[in-house]
Amino acid sequence: MTNTTDNVSSEKIMKFWDKDEIRHLNEQFEEAEPYSVLKWIWENFGDEAAMGTGFGPSGILLTHIVAKSDFDLPIFYLDTGLFFSETYKLRDELEKKFDLSFVRVSTDLSVKDQEIEYGSELWKRNPNKCCFLRKVLPLKNYMADKKVWITGVRRSQSDTRKDTQLFEWDPLNEVIKVNPLATWTTQDVWAYIRLNELPYNPLHDDGYPSIGCIPCTHRVQPGDHERAGRWGGLDKTECGIHLPTQNDGSV
């Protein structure tokens, strides 16, 4: 890290995010609806906050709230170049429906160049490295001038997410991470989607409750956990942006 980055980091930490303040925010917004959380973020941080989505149900719900509230929060997606065609179609459909443009965040390393540099199908041999190159690092670069990262992470999604707080410090990106749906269940989210007749990825109706990159997303069996189809057969449950221990770590 350069001195400049150190200075920016220190400024961010000192000015905004000490532990007591985060605890206070969690207490203040404990019972709050996602709308109130997003409103507070917009009013306090404007476009120094950004919301990430992979176009899953939680992200669609939050995008709907942002769009109908006229918060001009940037909404970005980490495009690995390895998404299902259904995901890209859904992106286009959501942009049209909500009259907004998602910010595409990606690596300059094309899938083909990755193959040349690291060998074919890196996701099979070293998925942590692959996620680091295609997701963790692009996110870190995008977050460099942000102070807040809003996500759709929920406690009920998996064991690794069960301790998710509404407001958390993200040491990797040096931003406050806000999870307005932390306490929502999968059923809550789908009820919202259906009530508001929002579009969603048709693969969800075909055995894929959680959808990421093609090589690392598989159908689940009835009764499986909703993220069971991600990195199936590998000792990996997260891409590393939400759980830094599951990325290559070589920032």
Residues with catalytic function: 239
**109 burial type by CB count under 10 A (0-12 exposed, 13-18 middle, 19+ buried):** middle
Task: Please tell me the distance from the alpha carbon of residue 117 to that of residue 139, in angstroms, as a whole number.
Answer: 21
**Tokens, residue 141:** 């670069």
Q: What is the DSSP letter of 193?
A: H
CB of 221 to ligand SF4, least distance (A): 20
Nearer to ligand SF4, 54 or 57 (CB): 54
212 binds ligand SF4 (CB under 6 A): yes
Report which of 160, 132, 143 is spatially closest to residue 105, judged by C-alpha positions.
Answer: 143
Task: Tell me how far, at minimum, the Cβ of 85 lies from ligand SF4, in Å.
Answer: 15
CB of 132 within 8 A of CB of 250? yes
Answer for which of 46, 199, 215, 232 binds ligand SF4 (CB under 6 A) is: 215
Closer Cβ to ligand SF4, 215 or 244, answer by number? 215
Inter-residue contact 67 to 59 (CB < 8 Å): no
Say if residues 123 and 238 touch (Cβ distance below 8 Å): no
Taking the complex as a whole, the smallest distance from the CB of residue 106 to ligand SF4 amounts, in Å, to 11
Radius of gyration of the chain (CA): 18
* Number of helices (H), then strands (E), in the chain: 10, 6
Task: Examine residue 216 and tell whether it contacts ligand SF4 (CB under 6 A).
Answer: yes
Q: Which is nearer to ligand SF4, 67 or 214 (CB)?
A: 214
Residues contacting ligand SF4: total by CB under 6 A: 13
Binding mask 218-247 vs ligand SF4 (x if CB under 6 A, - otherwise)?
Answer: ---------------------x--------
Looking at residues 75 to 134 of the shown chain, list those that interact with ligand SF4 (rule: CB under 6 A).
Answer: 80, 82, 123, 127, 130-131, 134
What residues make contact with ligand SF4 under the rule CB under 6 A? 80, 82, 123, 127, 130-131, 134-135, 212-213, 215-216, 239
